[in-house]
Amino acid sequence: MAIARDIEAKLEKLIEQNEALTREVKILREENALLKRGMFGRRSERMEAGQLGFFEDGPAAATVEVPEPARSKPTKKPGHGRAPFPAHLPRETIELDVAEAERQCDGCGKSMRRIGEDVTERGHIIPARLVVKRYVRSKYACPDGHGVKTAALPDGVIDGGKYEASVYAHIATAKYNDHLPLHRLQSIFKRYGEPIAKQSMWDMLVRVDELVAQPVLAQMRQELLAEDVLHADETPVTMRLEDGKGTKTGYAWGWRNLRRQGAPSRSLIEFRTGRGRDGPQLFLGDWSGTLIVDGYVGYDEVIRTNETKRAGCWAHARRKLKDALDTGSESVERLLGLVQELFVIERPINERVQAREIDRDEQLELRRVARETKSRDIVAAIYVEADRLERLKSTLPKSKLGKALGYLMSQRKALSVFLDDPRLPIHNNDSERDLRHLAIGRKNWLVFGSQRGGDVACRLYSLVLSCKQCGADPEAYLEDVLMKVASTPASEIAALTPWAWQAARAEA
C-alpha cells in the first residue's frame, strides 16, 4: 500500500510538471512566433473588415448582428505620370534657339518663321555652402578728438558670436528634424570648408534651447492645458550617466491636443529620468479634463487626484489581439474582427473630414449617431466574446491571448468612454505618431549624452514637430524667431509659437 501511494504521488507530481511544461512551451512558442513576425512580417495591426471570418457559426455568433458600416465613395487613384514641379519653386530660364544659318526648310529652302516654343523643365540642385558675411563699418572721428562714431553692427545670436542665426537654425533642424548626429554634421561642414567642432554645435543647440525653446514651450504648455481633452504617451530613451559609467533608461513623455478641423495641432515632448507618476503630475498640475492614454498605471494617480476622465485606446487592444492571432490563437478571430469593426465605422467619417466635405459640427453629429446605433452594440458584443474566451481552459493568463483579454477587461471603463463623447477618437495614435518622430532619430544618435542633453533634445523636438504639423519650415522659423525673441515682451510670446508664426506669414 505504501509503495502504491508513493507511485501515485510521483505520478501526480509528474502530471503537474508536464502541465507546467506544456504551458511554458505554449508561451515560448507564442513569443518565438511574435519575434519572427516582428523581424519578417507585416507590422501594422490594421485589418480590413471581412478579413477575419467572425461571422461563422460559433458560441458567440448570435450575440449581436453587426451592422453594415457606411462606406465612403471610392476615390479615383492618381495616375503614375510625371508630376510637374511646384509653382513656388524659383525658375531659371535658359533660352535655346535654332542657329540663324539653320532656319531654312530642308525641303524647299525657304526661310522658316517662329511659330511658338516648347518648354521643358528639369530639376537642378544648388549644393549648400557656407558664406561668410563680412561687415565693414565705417568709423568717423571728431577732428578735435572729442569722440568716434561707428555704424552699428546688426544683432547676433550672442554678443561676439562667430555665426549668424541661420547656422544655429540649420544645425538644430538637421539634428532634430533630419535626425543627423553631430558627428555627421561635423563631416558635412568640413565638406563646406568650415569644420565646426561637435562641442561648438552642442553649445549652439543649448543657446537655441535657452533663447527660443524654453520661453516658447512655456507658452505652448499654457495653451495645451487650456484644452478640455489631451493625448499622452511615453517612450523609453537610453541616457548616459553623468559620470560616464554606464547608462540608464529615461522616458520622453508626449502631450498633444485633440486633432480637429481648423485648429492648430499642439505637440510638446518632455524628458524625464523615470516613468513614474510624477511625470504626468508635474506636467498637468491641477488640470482636469479627459485624458486619452493607454493602460499604463503611471497615469492612475493624476487621474484620481484631478478627477480626470480616462479614455482608452482601442488601437492598443487591437494590437494585443493581433499578436495573439499571429502566435496561433485562432479562437481570437471573431473578437479581433469585432474590434476592427469599430475602426471601420469611424473611418468614413474621418475621411470626409479630411476631404473637407463636412465641418466639425457635422462630424460630431455623425459620430454620435454612429456610436449610439452601431458601436455601442459592438462594444457589448466584444465583452461577451472576451468573457467567453477568458473562461476557456485553454486560455493561459500569461499567454498573448490571456494578456490581451486582461487588457480588455481592466480597461473596460476607459475603452467605453468614447461612446458618450463624440469629440474623442477611439485611439491614441496621434500621440504615438508624435513620439515616432523621436524614435526615428533614436536609431541614429542611439543615446542622450546626459539628462541635460535629453531635456534640450525633447524641447527642440517639440518645436520641430509643431512646425511640421502646422506646415511651417522649421529652419526658417528658428532663424526668424532667434532674432525676434530677445525683443519680444513676455506678454507677446504667444506670437512666436510655430502655429502663430505660420499664421502670420500666411496673412502677410
Least confident of 60-69, 104-113, 478-487: 60-69
pLDDT digits over 303-323, tens only?
999 989 999 999 999 999 998
Q: Is 246 contained in some domain?
A: yes
Return the residue matching grid coordinates 543657446: 207
Same domain, yes or no: 299 and 332: no
Residue 329 and residue 353 share a domain: yes
Same domain, 484 and 419: no
My answer on whether 173 and 240 are in the same domain is yes
pLDDT beyond 50 at 54: no
Q: Rounded to the nearest 5 degrees, what angle is found at the Cα of 251, between the Cα atoms of 247 and 252?
A: 130
Structural domain including 341 reads 313-427
> Do the domain assignments include residue 491?
yes
**356/229 Cα distance (integer angstroms):** 23
Residues 301 and 386 in one domain: no
How far apart are the two ends of the chain, measured CA to CA in Å?
Answer: 99
Determine what percent of the chain is predicted with pLDDT higher than 70. 87
User: Residue 69: is its pLDDT beyond 60?
Assistant: no
Query: Is the same domain home to 421 and 333?
Result: yes
Residue 23's pLDDT is: 64
When divided into structural domains, the chain yields a total of 2
Full-model pTM:
0.81
**Confidence category of residue 328, pLDDT binned at 50, 70, 90:** confident
Q: What is the pLDDT of residues 476-488, one digit of tens each?
A: 999 999 999 988 9
In a domain, 45, yes or no: no
Q: Residue 243 domain-assigned?
A: yes
The predicted-structure confidence for 4-38, as pLDDT tens digits, reads as follows 777 777 777 777 777 666 666 666 665 666 566 66
Give residue-wise pLDDT tens across range 133-149. Answer: 999 999 999 998 889 99
Judge whether residue 58 has pLDDT over 90.
no
434 occurs within a structural domain? no
3-state secondary structure of 107: coil
Q: Are residues 413 and 466 in the same domain?
A: no
282: pLDDT strictly greater than 60: yes
Predicted confidence band at 51 (pLDDT cuts at 50, 70, 90)? low
Q: Which helix (H) or strand (E) holds 434?
A: helix 429-445
User: Is 484 found in the same domain as 398?
Assistant: no
* 405 and 501 together in one domain: no
Q: Which pLDDT value is given to residue 14?
A: 73
Q: Are 293 and 229 in contact (CB under 8 A)?
A: no
pLDDT in tens, 202-249: 999 999 999 999 999 999 999 999 999 999 999 999 999 987 788 999
Three-state secondary structure readout of 324-386: HHHCCCHHHHHHHHHHHHHHHHHHHHHHHHHCCCCCHHHHHHHHHHHHHHHHHHHHHHHHHHH
Residue 322 lies in a domain: yes
Q: Find the farthest-apart pair of alpha carbons in the chain and give their distance in angstroms, rounded.
A: 128
Instruction: Check whether residue 288 and residue 269 sit in a common domain.
Output: yes
> Do residues 269 and 330 both lie within one domain?
no
Is 477 inside any structural domain?
yes
Region for 306 from its dihedrals, namely left if φ exceeds 0, alpha if ψ lies in -120 to 50, beta otherwise = alpha
- Three-class secondary structure of residue 499 per DSSP: helix
